[in-house]
Structures are given as structure tokens and as C-alpha cells.
Amino acid sequence: MMPVKSLVLLSLLAVAACAPTTVPLGPDGKPLPQLYKIGAKDAERIPYAMLDQVNALRAATGATPLVLNAQLAAAATSHARDMAAQNRPWHFGSDGSTPFDRAARAGYVGRVRGENISETFESETETLSAWMGLADTRDVVMNPAARDMGIGWYQEASGKIWWTLITGG
């Protein structure tokens, strides 16, 4: 009798494994977004993933590829944290600093070409896509005079992410 019960149990488990998983849908019929949590491995991957995506977009227009710059990344990360502390996305630091000031403070000797910022729950890919959807932020990414890039972020416990991308050259 035991083998029959085991066989029935295994059959039920096999059928359950084949059942479709249910994904909660929003009122628009699309899957609800999942919280994007940046982990330690993501923190190592994100700058290179963003650089690859930016350079793919730039290559499509013949623009020179960018390289990651540690000083711009430091300035971007500092500003992302500062925006979170101020609880507002804007280009001025709590001390009145501009992107130019922050890059110089971080030791960047080139010329800052632009800064993009975002307050969102979205991944770096979704954030870049949103930036590419607006002329002024797309111009920062695609600026033909840019040669360097720094990306920084700060994620709050709630999951909200403050993104900053700075280009220079």
C-alpha cells in the first residue's frame, strides 16, 4: 500500500510543478512591478552594464564610446545620497553645489558635459530608457563631446533609488 501512496504523491507533485504560476496583474492587465533591490553583486555589475548600454546607443549614431571615470562616479554617488537626504531630485547639492562643483571636488580635471538624475523604483536599464525618452536627458547621454561617464545611486530601505549619471570630457 505504501508504494501506491508514494506514487500518488509523486504524481500530484509533478502536476503541481507543471501548473502555471500566477503573477499579480495591475488594473491595466500588465504584471505589477517587482521591487528592484540592488545587491552587492549588482553594485559591481551596474556601472559596466550601464556603460555597455550607453555605448551601444552611442555607437548607433557614430558617437565615440565613453569610459568609466572614478572621479565622476564618486561625484554621482555623492549627489545621489545628497538628493535622498534632501528628498528631492534636482541638480543642486544641499550646499548649493552644481555638477561642475561636485566633479571638481571629486578630483575630475575634465569638463563636465551634463548630469542626469532620477528618483525612481526602476532598474538602471529602465532609468536609462526613461532618460533616452526625453530630449534634454538624451542629449547628456549622447553628447558627442563626452568621453567619460560616472554613474552613482543610493537606494533607500523602501526601495526608492536615486540615480545620477554624469558625463564629461
59 within a domain of the structure (yes/no)? yes
Counting the structural domains of the chain, the total is 1
pLDDT of residue 15 exceeding 60, the answer is no
Q: How far apart are CA 88 and CA 164, in angstroms?
A: 13
pLDDT of residue 14 exceeding 90, the answer is no
pLDDT band at 21 (very low <50, low <70, confident <90, very high): low
Q: How far apart are CA 52 and CA 64, in angstroms?
A: 13
68 within a domain of the structure (yes/no)? yes
161 within a domain of the structure (yes/no)? yes
13 within a domain of the structure (yes/no)? no
Note the pLDDT tens digit of each residue in 72-81: 999 999 999 9
Q: What is the model's pLDDT at position 161?
A: 97
Longest dimension (CA), the chain: 80
pLDDT of residue 18 exceeding 80, the answer is no
14 within a domain of the structure (yes/no)? no
pTM score, whole prediction: 0.80
Query: Coil, strand or helix: which one is 106?
Result: coil
Average pLDDT over residues 40-53: 96
What percentage of the chain's residues is helix, strand, coil (to nearest 5)? 45, 15, 35
100 within a domain of the structure (yes/no)? yes
Note the pLDDT tens digit of each residue in 143-156: 999 999 999 999 99
pLDDT band at 35 (very low <50, low <70, confident <90, very high): confident
Sequence-distant (≥ 6) Cβ neighbours of residue 151 within 8 angstroms: 46, 47, 50, 51, 68, 73, 76, 124, 163, 164, 165
Q: How far apart are CA 37 and CA 93, in angstroms?
A: 25
Q: What is the model's pLDDT at position 118?
A: 97
pLDDT of residue 19 exceeding 60, the answer is no
27 within a domain of the structure (yes/no)? no
The CATH number assigned to the domain holding 49 equals: 3.40.33.10
21 within a domain of the structure (yes/no)? no
